[in-house]
Amino acid sequence: MLKANFKKQLHTFELDIDFQADLEVLGILGPSGCGKSMTLKCIAGIETPDSGYIELDGVVLYDSARKINLSPQKRHVGYLFQHYALFPTMSVEQNLLTGIRPDQAKDSREKSKQVLQTLKLEGVEKKKPHLLSGGQRQRVALGRILLNSPHILMLDEPLSALDQFLKWRVQLDLLELFERWQKTVLLVTHNREEIFQLCDSVTVLTDGKNDAKQTVTELFSAPQSLSAGVLAGYRNFSKIEIIDLEKGLFTALDWGVTLDSPKLTQNALHCGAFSQSLKVLGETDQETQNVIPVACLHQFGKMENESLVCSTPGGDTGNSILYIELHKGETLPPGKSESFHVSIPAQDLIFFNG
Amino acid sequence: MDWFPLWNSLRIAAISTVVIFITGIFAAWRIAKLPRFLKGLMDVILTLPLVLPPTVVGFFLLKLFGPYSAIGGFLIKSANIRLVMNWYSAIFASVVVAFPLMYRTARGAFESFDPTLRFAGQTLGIPNWKIFWKIVLPTCKQGILAGTVLAFARALGEYGATSMISGYTPGRTATISTTVYHLWRTGDDAQAYLWVLINVLISFVVLLTINYLESRQSPNQSAQELER
């Protein structure tokens, strides 16, 4: 279990971290430059916070009040760097052997052989890292960490340096590893799909401050802030003005329409909707709730689905634009610059207090 | 033919290179990690001998080690060791003059060293000294070797400060460079040409070595560049 509660002044903002990770895969989701990597570095002891408290499995790693600050060597933190940080002058095998701590050096050759086997690295053990593929490099780095038997595993953007094809393979490998590992895992990423596919729970980090921990499903159904909504993949946002709280009636200012939803809350300032939850209405549709007249500005065809960019009565710039994703077989709109209607199911609208 | 100047030059250069190798790497490693202002200041101080006229360096050395200086005077009185006008006096001169070459090349290599490699080593529990020996030095090998060869070449060719602190005594303090000067003064062109030729040959080999080291792009560096 990891408890992290610390502050550190950075160039443009203050990092203010407060979370607890249990026996789970906890994702830290945030845009680039929000302090994600710095958070990991502080936990690993590579950087020192200005103040706060970090505890791992009952061992205090850092406590500014008691002036405790363990060196990275003593923290037993497994850190997978974004570019893996393999030692370039050493072979795969030598790299793996550096992971074994002297007090566990018994049978180290045997242990490294075993790791080579489980990570499917047989045959490349004598190669230098620059001759390996991206996926192999990551596996060597992971193997080196596993041989080190750390108390926590921290992954910094583990999939972003891999190409699309390798990604899903590595994702499977990681899931398998997490299952066997049975210890706390921290995973830092800017990609919501990685959170969705790899993590149990998630905390959103924006401008150095992290939201309360949520389950991954909660993040996608009820993000806690506008920025969390953006990271969770919401594309449509509008400022709102409440007309009648009891009836759930409000004006979506950016979209220039009046909508209603039972989920409306007193403090709501913005509403949002997934691009997939918008429905295009055909001539014969009888839908009357939350109907918005729109005009198509752009249309993108993809393999699986069609994306539309539409203007609303609110205008055709910024938040006034609606992004709609149609699934295969759904009614197609008449075509570019034609007008038609869409509806937002009341249950699919979400509200933000910020 | 008296080969003493060649032998003397080589031993002075070799000893100087060993001293410079250790101190240069140490200084470069320490200074590469300093905060910016302090780094700039130390950098200027340690690079100064490279741009100062060797006679200025010689002047300072004489003031520091001469028989009337604190250090030089003390050693003469207590142990009868004279730091100037001996063959090893030239080591002081060539160390000071050639040090910046080693220091600057090594510092460049350390600064281009990817710090996440160091962090990775630390989180794996490897002690800092071991990280330096097993990871940093091998990764920076090319730069450090190039610096060493450059420093050796400079030490071998040192003239100005050497002639001031060591003088020219045939068979005792004569080096290749001071011998060439002496032969020119006495008009012995044939001998002078011979020593000039030897000097050119040595420099040629040294430069070839440096070029070879620099062209042999280390696989590590190219791999790291690919990753970026």
Helix B54-65 vs helix B89-111: angle between axes, to the nearest 10 degrees? 120
**What average pLDDT is seen over chain B?**
88
Residue B150 has pLDDT above 60, yes or no: yes
A293 CB-near residues (< 8 Å, 6+ apart): A312, A313, A339, A340, A341
Confidence of residue B220 (pLDDT cuts 50, 70, 90): very low
| Whether pLDDT at B227 is above 50 | no
What is the average pLDDT across B136-148? 90
Tell me the per-residue pLDDT of A59-77, one tens digit each, with 9 for 90 and over.
999 999 999 999 999 999 9
Over residues A132-164, the pLDDT tens digits come to 988 899 999 999 999 999 999 999 998 887 888
Pair A352, A268: CB distance under 8 Å? yes
User: CA nearest B174: which of B76, B69, B89, B53?
Assistant: B89
A103: closest CA of chain B, how far (Å): 11
Put simply, the answer to whether A46 touches B126 (Cβ < 8 Å) is no
Domains, chain A: 2-232 (3.40.50.300), 236-352 (no CATH)
Average pLDDT rounded to a whole number, residues A289-309: 83
Tell me which residue of A158, A161, A190 sits closest to A33, measured CA to CA: A190
Nearest neighbour of A73 by CB, restricted to B125, B138, B222:
B125
Residue A85 sits at the vertex; the CA angle it makes with A81 and A88, to the nearest 5 degrees, is: 170
With CB atoms and an 8 Å threshold, state whether A130 touches B220.
yes
Q: Which two tokens stand for residue A24?
A: 């789970």
Q: Could you tell me the end-to-end alpha-carbon distance of chain B, in angstroms, rounded to an integer? A: 58
Task: Tell me the two tokens of residue B117.
Answer: 């490699």
Minimum-distance CB partner of A87 among B117, B122, B127: B117
Element (H, E) at A114: helix A108-118
Q: Answer whether residue B32 shows pLDDT above 90.
A: no
Residue pLDDT, tens place only, A41-59: 999 999 999 999 999 999 9
A297: nearest Cα among A314, A309, A279:
A309
pLDDT band at B73 (very low <50, low <70, confident <90, very high): confident
In which band, very low, low, confident or very high, does the pLDDT at A332 lie, cut at 50, 70 and 90? low
- 8 A C-beta contact, residue A251 and residue A243: yes
B127 in A contact zone (CB under 8 Å): yes
Inter-residue contact B220 to B139 (CB < 8 Å): yes
Distances in whole angstroms, Cα of residue A253 to Cα of each of A137, A271, A314, A344 = 50, 10, 7, 15
Instruction: Provide the pLDDT confidence category of residue A328 given band limits of 50, 70 and 90.
Output: low
Dihedral pair phi/psi, residue A95, rounded to 5°? -60, -45
B144 to B106, B130, B136, B205: CA distances (angstroms): 5, 18, 11, 18
The shortest C-alpha distance from B142 to chain A (Å) reads 12
Is the confidence at residue B218, as pLDDT, over 60? no
Matching residue, tokens 């893996």? A84
Query: CB distance B135–A45 less than 8 Å?
Result: no
Q: pLDDT tens, A89-143?
A: 999 999 999 999 988 888 888 888 888 888 888 889 899 999 998 889 999 999 9
Q: What is the pLDDT of residues B107-134, one digit of tens each?
A: 999 988 999 999 999 999 999 999 999 9
The answer to whether A76 and A60 are in contact (CB under 8 A) is no
Q: How close does chain A come to B15, measured CA to CA in Å?
A: 29
Beta carbons of B39 and B166 less than 8 angstroms apart: no
Write out residues 61-120 of B within 8 Å (CB-CB) of A. Answer: 114, 116-117, 119-120
Please judge whether B223 and A129 are an interchain contact, meaning their C-beta atoms are less than 8 angstroms apart.
Answer: yes
Q: What is the pLDDT of residue A95?
A: 94
The C-alpha atoms of residue A159 and residue A170 are separated, in whole angstroms, by 8
Contacts of B121 in chain A (CB under 8 A): 87, 98
* CA atoms of B215 and B142, how far apart (whole Å): 10
Query: Cβ–Cβ contacts within 10 Å for residue A46, how many?
Result: 22
Which amino acid, residue A151? H
Chain B hits for A45, CB-CB cut-off 8 Å, are: 122-123
- Give the right CATH number for B4-221 from 1.10.3720.10, 1.10.10.60, 1.10.3470.10, 3.40.50.300: 1.10.3720.10
Between chains, do A89 and B116 touch, taking CB under 8 Å as contact?
Answer: no
* pTM, entire model: 0.81
3-state secondary structure of A328: coil
Average pLDDT in the A71-91 region? 94
Asked if residue B222 has pLDDT above 50, the reply is no
How many pairs of residues across A and B have Cβ atoms under 8 Å apart? 77
Question: Which amino acid would we find at residue B22?
Answer: I
How high is the ipTM of this complex?
Answer: 0.83
pLDDT digits (tens, 9 = 90+) for B48-70: 998 999 999 999 999 999 888 88
* Local confidence band at B226 (pLDDT 50, 70, 90 cut-offs): very low
Q: What is the pLDDT, as a whole number, of residue A227? A: 87
- Does pLDDT of A2 surpass 90? yes
Instruction: Give the phi and the psi of residue A318 in degrees, each rounded to 5.
Output: 50, -130
Which residues in chain B have Cβ-Cβ distances shorter than 8 Å to A61?
Answer: none
pLDDT at A333: 65
At B217 the pLDDT is 53
Tell me: pLDDT of B157 over 90.
no
Residue from A27, A17, A20, A18 nearest A1 by CA: A20
Phi, psi of B21 (to 5 degrees): -55, -50
CB contact under 8 A, A77 and B123: yes
What residue has token string 């192999």?
Answer: A136
DSSP string across chain B: ---HHHHHHHHHHHHHHHHHHHHHHHHHHHHHTS-HHHHHHHHHHHHHHHHS-HHHHHHHHHHHHSTTSHHHHHHHHHH----SSSTTHHHHHHHHHHHHHHHHHHHHHHHTS-HHHHHHHHHTT--HHHHIIIIIHHHTHHHHHHHHHHHHHHHHH--HHHHHHT---TTTT--HHHHHHHHHHTT-HHHHHHHHHHHHHHHHHHHHHHHHHHHS--HHHHHHHHH-
CB atoms within 10 A of CB B78: 8
Alpha-carbon span B22 to A108, nearest angstrom: 34
- In the numeric block, which tokens belong to residue B147? 């610096």
Domain borders along chain B are 4-221
